[in-house]
Structure 1
Amino acid sequence: MTLESFDPTAVRYPATNFVQGTVLAGDADSYEILRPSDGKLARVEQCASVELVDRAIQSARLAFRKSGWAQRAPRERARVFAKWASLVVEHASELAQLESVVSPRLYSDAHMWDINNAAELIRFSAEAADKLEGQTLATAADALSMVVREPYGVVAGITPFNAPMALAVTKVAPALIAGNACVIKPSEFTPYSLVRIAQLGHQAGLPEGLFNVVSGSGGSTGSALIKHPDVDYVSFTGSTTAGARVMADAALAGVKPVSLELGGKSPHLVFDDAGDIDTLAEMIVGSCTRNAGQVCFTGSRLVVHKSLADRLIERMRAIMVDIRHGPTWDVTSRMGPIMSEAQGRRIEDILARATDAGTRVLTGGRRAETPFGGVYFEPTILLAATSDSPAVREEFFGPVLTVQTFSEDDEGISLAGHPMFGLAAGIHTKSLERALRAARSISAGSVWINHYGPVPDYNSPFFSPHKQSGLGQEGGMPGVQKYLKSKAIRLKHGFFA
C-alpha cells in the first residue's frame, strides 16, 4: 500500500475521555491542543475533573469486581485480545492520523511502526495469558504449599506525548491480560489515538469499564488519579522530575507499588574496531534524530575512539545535512517538529549553558528555518570539553548528539557511564570480549551490541532502567508479571471431609 499525505484540517477528533464504555468530554479547566507541525489550534479541550477521575476509577473497580474478566479462562481473554489487535490494524490510517497530527510522530512512522507495535504488543500479551504461572513448593508430605499470582485490581497509567499510542499500549495490554482493570491518563496534548484504542478494545469484547481513559494536566488530573485510594498500582512513563512527583503522590496516598520508565542520556560506545563507518554513521544519526530526538532511549551521546572520531563525525554531518524537516502529515518529511515552544526553549537553554562551559558546536545548534510554523530544530553535533558539561549530563529531548573521545578501553567505558541516567547503551565493536566487558561495566538496563534500539521480539524487556532512569520493567514477560502480586497458600492435610 502506498501511503499518502493527509490534510490535518480533515481529521475528526473524538472526545478526550473514555469512561465505562462511553466517550466523554472533559468537565474542568479548558486548554488548547496545538498541532506541533504548524503551531495551529487543533481543538480546545477541558481537563477531566477530580469527579470524572473518581468516576473512571469506580468504573474500573466495579469492572474488576463484577465483570468476571480476571476469572475467565486465559485463552478466552486471549481471544478478545486477538480481535482487538485485528481492529487496531484495520483502523491503521485513522489511528496514525490521530497520533501524528497532535504529536511529533511522523505519519509514516506511526503508520508503519506504531500501529504494528501496538497490535503486536496486544498479541504478545494474549500469548502470555496462559503462561502466568505460580509455584508449588517443597514441604512436608502431609501439606501442600504453593504461590499463586493475582491481579492487583485497578492499575493507573500515565504516559507522555512523544509516542502516545505505543507507550500506552505497553502498559494497558499487559495489565489487562493479567486480569486488572485500567485507568490511563495520556498527555493532555495527545489524547485522541488512545481514546480510539480504548473504543476498539471495548468493541473487541473488553467488559464495560475495564479500560478507561481520562485526559488532563499532570498537576490536576494526574495527581487525582495517583492519589486515589482505589488505585492499586501506578505505572508512569515520563521525565525523571515528573517521576519523582509521581512517587511522592503515591506515597502520600498510602503504600502502593509504582513502576517508572523515565529519562535517559544513552551512549554509543564506539571502539576502534567498530567496522563500517557509513553503516555506523547512519545508525547513530538515526538514533539521535528519530522523532526529532524526542525518545527516552535516544542515543544522545557518542563516546568514540580518537582514531575514528574525525571520519565518523564528518560522515554524520553529511547525513544530517540531507535530513528533510517537514510536517508530520507529509509523507516526504524525514524529521518532524519539536513538541512545543517550551521544549524548544529548553533545548536552547541547555545548549547555551553548554557552550558557555566550553562545548563546541560542530554542526546545527539552532532552530531550522522552515515555512511550516511550529518549532523545528537542526540535527546537532556537539564536542564536549568535559564530562561536567550540561551537554553530557542533561537530557535535551531533541536531535542533539554530544561527542566525547577516548584512547584506552577503560577510559571509553568510564565515559559511557552516566552519573544520573541508566536507561540504555549501544556498544560497537568486532571483539566479543570487549563487547561483553563493556556491557557488564555500563550501568544501563538495556545494552545493544552492534545495533541500537529495541527490536520487535516482544519476549524480552524493552527497558529495565537503572539509576534515576526508573524502576521496574517495560515489555516482555516481566512487563506482564509486574501487574500480578504473589500470595503464599499452605494447607494441612487431614482436616477435610
Structure 2
Amino acid sequence: MLTTEQWIERAKNLRPKADLFIDGKFVSAVSGKRFDTLAPRDGSVITTVARGDGADVDAAARSAAKAFESGVWSKTDPRHRQAILTKFSDLILANREELALLESIETGHPIGDAMNVDVPSAARSFRWYAEALDKIYDEVAPAPRTALTLITREPLGVIGAVVPWNYPLIISAWKLAPALAAGNSVVLKPAENTNLASLRLAELAFEAGLPAGVLNVVTGLGAEAGQALGRHPLVDKITFTGSPAVGRMFQTYAGETNGKQVALELGGKSPHIVFEDVADIDACAEAVAWGIFYNAGQTCHGGSRLLVHESVHDRLIEATIKVAKQLKMGDTLDPSTQISAIVSERQLERVLGYLDIAKNEKVDFALGGNRVTPAEGLEKGYFVEPTILTNVDNAGRIGQEEIFGPVLAVTKFKNTAEAIELANASEYGLAASVWTQDLTRAHKVVREVRAGTVWVNTFDVADIIVPFGGFKNSGFGRDRSLHALDSYTALKTTWINLGSDEPK
C-alpha cells in the first residue's frame, strides 16, 4: 500500500478521462456542456465531467440496441462471454490502484477500503457470473408424450443501470455483471458526483474484448440524463439503486413510455435488535459501531437503528461508544483512516440538518453530533464525527427517516413483541440483525421481521452468492446471486408437436 503522501501526490497528478463512453470510445456531450466533480476530503475540483442529456442517452441507447440486435454479444456462445468477463475481472485487479483512487477521491471512501474491499469485490462479481455461465441449464417441462416443451432463457435487450454515489464500483458490478453475462447490452448512468471509476470500468471492459456498444456510460444530471434513460423507448429494463423518491420517478417514466421493467433498491432504516441474553456485548458493540460508521454511515443497509432491551441498554451504549472512539477518522487518502468524508456538501448539510432535528426532538447526544476537521488541510472537507443518539422516539423523524450519515438512533424495548413491533414500524425493510442466544426466539424474530436480509449474532456479512434487496419502501429488486441472472432474462416457451403417440 502506498503512503498517504504518495496517494496525495497521485491525486494531484490525476488526469482522469471524463467524457461519455459510447460505442466503444470517449466522446463529448452533444451540447458540449460539462460540470465539476469535487473531492469530499477538501472540497477541491478534481476535474470537469461531460454533462450528457437526452441526445447523448439516445446515442448510447441506439448503440446498445444495435449491438444487441447484431448478436455480436447477445448471440455468442456462453463460453465466449465467460472468457471476456473473466479477462475483465483480471483487468480490474490489475488496475486496482487506479480504480481505488478514482473511487476514493470522488466518494470520500477511505483509500484502504477502496483498495481492499471495493475493487476486489467488483472484480469478484464479474468473475463469479462468468464462472456461472456454463453451469446454468434450461428446462424441459413435463408435457404429454406427443410434445416436447422447452423453457429457455433469453436476454432482455438494453438495460439502463442507474447507480448511487456511495459504492459506485461495487453496485455497478452487481448490476453490470449479471446483465452482461446474460447477453444484454447496458447503458450505465452513474450518480452525478461519482463518475470517474465507472468511466474507467467501461474502458477496461472494452479492453477485455467487450464489443463496442455493449456497455455505454452516460454521465450527467439525474433530471436530464437519468430521466432520458428512464423514458427511452429502446431501453427494456431500468435497474436503479437510490432514494425512494427517484425510484418512483423511474416507475412513472416507464409507465408513461414503453412499460419497461423497473427493479428498485431504495434504501433502509435497518435495526439491530439486541435482546437481554446477547452472548457477547463487546462483539455486539463492535458490529453496531462498524455497521453505522463504516463509510461515514453512507450505506443503504447500514444499521442506523439500535433497538435494545432495557436491561442491557447502558452496557451496550457504553461499549459502542468505546469502539466508536477507537475508530480513526482522517484523510480519505490516508491508508490508516477508517472513517472519512461525507460525499458532498449537500449531503453534509442534510446530515447536519437531521442533527438539528434531533435536538428539537429532545433526544440525548451520547456521542458526537458535530462537523469536524480531522487533519490539517481538510478544513473545507465534509466530515461529521460518529454520533450516537439515545432515547430516540422510534416514531419520530430521527427514528423513521434515512439520514445516510454516521448517526445511530437508539431506542429501548421491554419484550420480544415490542421489539418486533418497533423493528417493523418503518417504511423500509432492507436489512436487520438479531442478537440472542435463544435459538427459538431468533427463528421467530427472523420470520416476523420484514426485511430482505436478517443477520443473527452478526451484521453486514455478505457475498455475491446470496441475493440483496428489500421489502416495502426498500424496493423489490434483487442484486447478487443466481437470482439476479433471472432478472436480466426472459423465459421463452417452445412447444414442439411430436405427432401421435400411437405405435406405427
- TM-score when normalising by structure 1: 0.96
Deviations, residues 353-376 of structure 1 (Å, cap 9, x unaligned): 233223222111121244412111
2:438 to 426, 431, 434: 431
How far 1:137 sits from its partner (Å)? 1.3
The aligned counterpart of 2:414 is 407
| Paired letter, 2:485 | V
Indicate yes or no: 2:41 matched with 1:11.
no
The aligned counterpart of 2:469 is 464
Indicate yes or no: 2:423 matched with 1:416.
yes
Deviations, residues 188-215 of structure 1 (Å, cap 9, x unaligned): 2111111111111111111111011000
- Name the SS for the 1:402 alignment partner: strand
- Name the SS for the 2:323 alignment partner: helix
Deviations, residues 262-288 of structure 1 (Å, cap 9, x unaligned): 110000111111112211111110010
| Paired letter, 2:488 | Y
In 2, the alpha carbon distance for the partners of 1:292 and 1:468 equals: 23
In 2, the alpha carbon distance for the partners of 1:472 and 1:49 equals: 26
**More moved, 220-229 vs 240-249:** 240-249
How far 1:297 sits from its partner (Å)? 0.7
How far 1:340 sits from its partner (Å)? 1.4
Superposition pairs for residues 28-177 of structure 1, below 5 Å? 28=31, 29-177=33-181
Deviations, residues 301-322 of structure 1 (Å, cap 9, x unaligned): 1011111110111111122223
Unpaired runs of 5+ in structure 2? none
How far 1:170 sits from its partner (Å)? 0.7
Superposition pairs for residues 338-353 of structure 1, below 5 Å? 338-353=342-357
Unpaired runs of 5+ in structure 1? none
Matched residue pairs, number? 492
The aligned counterpart of 1:22 is 25
**More moved, 335-344 vs 284-293:** 335-344
**More moved, 378-387 vs 174-183:** 378-387
The aligned counterpart of 1:254 is 258
In 2, the alpha carbon distance for the partners of 1:294 and 1:70 equals: 36
Percent identity, aligned pairs only, is: 36
The aligned counterpart of 1:449 is 456
The aligned counterpart of 2:402 is 395
1:263 to 263, 267, 280: 267
CA contact (8 A) 1:85 1:123 kept: yes
CA contact (8 A) 1:234 1:257 kept: yes
- Name the SS for the 2:224 alignment partner: helix
**More moved, 410-419 vs 179-188:** 410-419
How far 1:385 sits from its partner (Å)? 4.1
How far 1:70 sits from its partner (Å)? 2.1
Indicate yes or no: 2:479 matched with 1:480.
no
How far 1:22 sits from its partner (Å)? 0.4
Deviations, residues 210-250 of structure 1 (Å, cap 9, x unaligned): 01100001100011111000000110011111111111112
- TM-score when normalising by structure 2: 0.95
In 1, the alpha carbon distance for the partners of 2:189 and 2:488 equals: 18
Distance 1:191 1:16, change over 3 A: farther
How far 1:157 sits from its partner (Å)? 0.3
In 2, the alpha carbon distance for the partners of 1:190 and 1:454 equals: 25
| Paired letter, 2:449 | I
- Name the SS for the 2:311 alignment partner: helix
- Name the SS for the 2:107 alignment partner: coil
CA RMSD, 1 decimal? 1.5
CA contact (8 A) 1:26 1:45 kept: no
- Name the SS for the 2:113 alignment partner: helix
- Name the SS for the 2:312 alignment partner: helix
**More moved, 197-206 vs 67-76:** 67-76
The aligned counterpart of 1:272 is 276
The aligned counterpart of 2:336 is 332
